[in-house]
């Protein structure tokens, strides 16, 4: 397809991509051994049984204790209710240092690996709703070569709000803004991977890949760690997990989103404050 024909196709209302090739790759995105080439093409790979039972068991116990002690009445972030804002205990934060996880990350980023962010995403009594189609890079600081490593600490399926991944969409890169993406800009046959997960599995997702999740309608709470990793050459890293730092530059975590004197986000925050003030009973 020539640049002119690509432009004309996009002007017709849809983004373009190798739909048939991605559809053929869909069944190859899941397996017991990480496939770097499939990941590069589709933006996601599910490693089944990545962690043994004797490793996962203590994580499940730590999560249960953490939830009962801190999260039964957790602080719900109104703009992303599934994101846990409470600081997890060290036993859970240690998941990001597991050698099996870092061995896979090394295949993507090389020997020097940094942590960008660690958080939990849960569909519990405070957050049963769906999450709209989006990608993560537009909310990040630093370079654009990073990935989320999702570690489920529960079963995840269509009933309790599992993730779905729109294959290959990471190749579109940054889209100029942040927010809910239009379904209609893709061909109706564009392949979507909606894997069923169990504790011990691992999902690797490029941070530019479009993804979404359905509502929790039945079953156990859906729980997963979202561990965002990147090369240690990125100045926005918070911890070197393997190898060494390979940059002289650094963006402190405390300055993420705070380097602008004026921005779209700050203006929206001001407007939201005004709307909230007007909505309060007089």
- Look at residue 30 and give its three-state secondary structure: strand
Q: What is the pLDDT of residues 59-105, one digit of tens each?
A: 999 999 999 999 988 989 888 999 999 999 999 999 999 999 999 99
> How confident is the model over 184-188, as a mean pLDDT?
96
In total, the chain counts a number of residues equal to: 282
Q: How far apart are CA 167 and CA 236, in angstroms?
A: 27
User: Are 114 and 231 in contact, with CB atoms under 8 Å apart?
Assistant: yes
User: Are 116 and 140 in contact, with CB atoms under 8 Å apart?
Assistant: yes
**Strand 163-166 to 211-213 pairing:** antiparallel
Whole-number average pLDDT of the chain? 93
Q: Domain segments of the chain: what residues?
A: 14-253
Tell me: pLDDT of 6 over 70.
no
Of 6, 4, 49, the residue nearest 172 (C-alpha): 6
Question: Which CATH superfamily groups domain 14-253?
Answer: q2cbj1_9rhob like domain (2.60.120.620)
Q: What is the pLDDT of residues 93-128, one digit of tens each?
A: 999 999 999 999 999 999 999 999 999 999 999 999
Tell me: pLDDT of 7 over 50.
no
* 219 membership: H or E segment, kind and range: none
- Look at residue 78 and give its three-state secondary structure: coil
Q: Give the pLDDT score at 8.
A: 37
Residue 173 pLDDT class (50, 70, 90 cuts)? very high
- Look at residue 85 and give its three-state secondary structure: coil
Q: How far apart are CA 192 and CA 26, in angstroms?
A: 8
> How confident is the model over 193-219, as a mean pLDDT?
98
- Name the more confident of 282 and 44: 44
Q: Give the pLDDT score at 12.
A: 63
Secondary structure of 161-180 in the HEC alphabet? Answer: CCEEEECCHHHHCCCCCCCC
């Amino acid at each position: 397809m020539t640049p002119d024909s690509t432009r004309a196709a996009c002007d017709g209302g849809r983004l373009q991509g190798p739909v048939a090739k991605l559809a053929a790759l869909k069944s190859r995105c899941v397996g017991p051994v990480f496939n770097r080439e499939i990941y590069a093409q589709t933006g996601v790979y599910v490693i089944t049984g990545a962690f043994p039972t004797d490793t996962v068991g203590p994580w499940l116990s730590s999560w249960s204790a953490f939830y009962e002690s801190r999260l039964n009445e957790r602080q719900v972030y109104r703009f992303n209710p599934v994101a846990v804002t409470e600081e997890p205990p060290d036993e859970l934060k240690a998941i990001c240092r597991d050698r099996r996880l870092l061995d896979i990350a090394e295949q993507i980023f090389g020997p020097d690996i940094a942590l960008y962010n660690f958080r939990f995403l849960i569909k519990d009594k405070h957050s049963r709703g769906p999450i709209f189609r989006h990608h993560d890079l537009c909310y990040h600081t630093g370079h654009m070569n990073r990935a989320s490593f999702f570690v489920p600490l529960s079963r995840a399926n269509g009933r309790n709000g599992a993730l779905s991944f729109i294959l290959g969409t990471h190749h579109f890169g940054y889209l100029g803004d942040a927010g809910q993406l239009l379904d209609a800009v893709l061909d109706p046959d564009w392949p979507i991977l909606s894997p069923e997960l169990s504790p011990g599995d691992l999902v690797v997702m490029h941070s530019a890949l479009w993804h979404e999740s359905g509502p929790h309608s039945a079953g156990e709470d859906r729980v997963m760690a979202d561990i965002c990793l990147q090369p240690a050459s990125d100045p926005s890293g918070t911890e070197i997990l393997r190898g060494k730092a390979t940059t002289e530059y650094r963006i402190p975590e405390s300055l993420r989103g705070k380097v602008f004197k004026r921005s779209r986000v700050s203006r929206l925050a001001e407007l939201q404050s005004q709307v909230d003030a007007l909505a309060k009973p007089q």
